[in-house]
């Protein structure tokens, strides 16, 4: 990860690569062990799903590692008591889903579903646990920048801002330590759930967001065109992985 010098802090925003929930349970089809594979839930099985975007994720994350000042992964990190877990009668239209990304489970196989896919798995991330506080966030930002390591935010809810109360403090710590306003470049899944929470949360906080459109996938809860149009109207920028590579 590159870091700007003191001479350009005042004139350029600090880039934060933001990688949303690219975890085994979301990214792997059921036959490969994914417990909540991201694909269109309403098209009768025609959608091949999120496995299609893995090459674009690889390209986008490589770009982030070369061009961003910090990289943040987010991930659901569940226990059975969490509000969005519906073990008996899950209903996505009501915001409940089968058990997935059970990072707090006693079962090793269940925990495996919470891990980032191997193609872009961070080797040694700084962990921001889901019960973290402001001091934890400040330490995480300091270690990430000093040691050139990504941060992994564990979260209990769809939105990282609701699922980990220290997310705002982490962003503030990055801004303060980098001495510049932040710009977020975002990829991940699911576009109409956790990516939605991240994009809209950033925009509410007046943090510019660029979404890499071919490195996201959705569940069909909202059409891609509708989501992208609304976010653009609210101030987000859209780019493809090819455009990102040309951006430098």
Average pLDDT of the residues in 115-139: 97
Please report the pLDDT score of residue 5 as a whole number: 38
Which tokens is 98 given? 């089968």
In words, the CATH class of domain 12-247 is alpha beta
Does the global pTM surpass 0.85?
Answer: yes
Q: Please report, rounded to a whole number, the percentage of residues in the chain having pLDDT higher than 90.
A: 90
- Hey, is 200 helix, strand or coil? helix
Please report the pLDDT score of residue 6 as a whole number: 38
Reference 220, options 20, 60, 51, 37; nearest CA is 37
For residues 93 and 189, the model is more confident at 189
List Cβ neighbours of 179 (8 Å cut-off, separation of 6 or more).
Answer: 6, 9, 10, 14
From the CA atom positions of the chain, what is the Rg in Å?
17
**Cα distance between residue 247 and residue 8, in whole Å:** 18
Please report the pLDDT score of residue 50 as a whole number: 98
For residues 27 and 89, the model is more confident at 27
Buried b vs exposed e over 115-154: b needs ≥16 C-beta within 10 Å?
A: ebbeebebeebbebbbebeeebbbebbeebbeeebbbbbb
- Hey, is 118 helix, strand or coil? helix
pLDDT band at 94 (very low <50, low <70, confident <90, very high): confident
- Which residue bears the tokens 């109207």? 233
| Candidate from 17-26, 64-73, 177-186, 239-248 with smallest mean pLDDT | 239-248
Average pLDDT of the residues in 145-157: 98
| Candidate from 4-18, 58-72, 178-192, 207-221 with smallest mean pLDDT | 4-18
| For residue 2, pLDDT beyond 70 | no
- Per the CB < 8 A criterion, the answer to whether 192 and 198 are in contact is no
Please report the pLDDT score of residue 11 as a whole number: 58
DSSP secondary structure string, 25-94?
A: HHHS-GGGT-SS--S-TTSTT----GGGGHHHHHHHHHHHHHH-SEEEEEEE---TTSTTB-SSS--GGG
Domain borders along the chain are 12-247
Reference 97, options 222, 221, 224; nearest CA is 221
pLDDT digits (tens, 9 = 90+) for 38-50: 999 999 989 999 9
Average pLDDT of the residues in 84-104: 91
């Amino acid at each position: 990860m590159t870091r700007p010098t003191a001479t350009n802090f005042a004139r350029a925003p600090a880039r934060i690569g933001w990688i949303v929930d690219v975890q085994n349970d979301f990214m792997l089809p059921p036959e490969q062990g994914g417990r909540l594979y991201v694909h269109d839930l309403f098209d009768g099985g025609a959608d091949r799903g999120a496995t299609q975007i893995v090459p674009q994720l690889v390209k986008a994350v490589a770009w982030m590692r070369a061009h961003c000042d910090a990289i943040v992964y987010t991930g659901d990190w569940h226990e059975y008591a969490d509000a969005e877990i519906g073990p008996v009668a899950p209903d996505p239209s009501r915001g409940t889903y089968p058990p997935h990304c059970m990072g707090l489970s006693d079962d090793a196989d269940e925990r495996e579903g919470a891990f980032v896919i191997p193609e872009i798995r961070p080797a040694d991330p700084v962990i921001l646990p889901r019960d973290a506080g402001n001091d934890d966030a400040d330490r995480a930002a300091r270690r990430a920048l000093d040691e050139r390591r990504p941060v992994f935010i564990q979260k209990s809810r769809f939105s990282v801002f609701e699922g980990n109360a220290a997310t705002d403090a982490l962003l503030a710590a990055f801004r303060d330590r980098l001495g510049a306003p932040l710009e977020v470049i975002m990829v991940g899944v699911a576009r109409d759930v956790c990516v939605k929470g991240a994009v809209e949360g950033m925009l509410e906080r007046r943090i510019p967001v660029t979404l890499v459109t071919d490195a996201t996938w959705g569940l069909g809860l909202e059409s891609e065109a509708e989501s992208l149009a609304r976010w653009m109207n609210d101030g987000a920028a859209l780019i493809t992985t090819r455009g990102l590579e040309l951006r430098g």
